[in-house]
Amino acid sequence: MPEDDSEIVLYTESRGEEIDILVDSADDAARSFESAGGEVVVQPFDIRIGRCAVVKDPWGNELVLLDNSKGRLVTDEGFNVVGVKKE
């Protein structure tokens, strides 16, 4: 969004709902989440903008933790993703 750091991401394939939380470090956040009683469902892995992990809280809710340590997605005039820009 132009006025702040919020993003809207649209998927074109059927995936169901997903809650993404931007963190400073996906690796650190996953370890903290686990030590607080949560479960790491998918260990941290590389994505285009940085790192990502999937965790589950004690009530069974899955959350996606991601960081943008490699940068932010860049779009063209048609809002198509064309690359990553390191900030």
- What tens digit of pLDDT does each residue of 44-84 get? 999 999 999 999 999 999 999 999 999 988 889 988 888 89
pTM, two decimals, is: 0.77
The per-residue pLDDT of the chain, averaged, comes to: 88
Task: Return the pLDDT at 7.
Answer: 63
What is the spatial distance between Cα 36 and Cα 16, in angstroms, rounded to a whole number?
A: 27
In the chain, what are the domains? 20-85 (3.10.180.10)
DSSP state string for 13-24: S------EEE-S
Between residues 9 and 84, the one the model is more confident about: 84
Task: Return the pLDDT at 45.
Answer: 96
Task: Return the pLDDT at 10.
Answer: 64
What is the spatial distance between Cα 64 and Cα 18, in angstroms, rounded to a whole number?
A: 7
